[in-house]
């Protein structure tokens, strides 16, 4: 299952900067241990986006609770569960097992 997570900033960029290195470390750990597929800031400057692959939403929320931005109340979090039904052949099939590849 895929999970689209949007983080919305609740503070100024200068307040975020105090936690950015720890946040990046958390994201890097997430790539190797928690199913983070991709992550990056929104071009609008209002937050960030993380795409997770995982077995259940509970695990995603448990990992999000360890984000320094979340711990220090610098972001609000929106999690959407996605069941891919159609994917490019270039998309790794293990992340969309039930999708039709074209």
Work out the pLDDT band at 94, boundaries 50, 70, 90.
Answer: confident
Segment 3-54, tens digit of pLDDT: 999 999 999 999 999 999 999 999 999 999 999 999 999 999 999 999 999 9
CA 99 – CA 76 distance, rounded (Å): 30
Phi, psi of 39 (to 5 degrees): -155, 150
């Amino acid at each position: 299952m895929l999970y689209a997570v949007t983080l919305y900033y609740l503070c100024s960029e200068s307040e975020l900067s105090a936690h950015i290195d720890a946040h990046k470390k958390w994201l890097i750990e997430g790539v190797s241990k928690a199913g983070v597929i991709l992550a990056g800031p929104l071009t609008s400057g209002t937050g960030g986006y993380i795409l997770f692959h995982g077995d259940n939403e509970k695990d995603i929320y448990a990992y999000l609770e360890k984000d320094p931005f979340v711990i220090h109340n610098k972001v609000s979090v929106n999690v959407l569960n996605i069941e891919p039904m159609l994917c490019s052949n270039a998309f790794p099939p293990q992340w969309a097992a039930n999708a039709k590849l074209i």
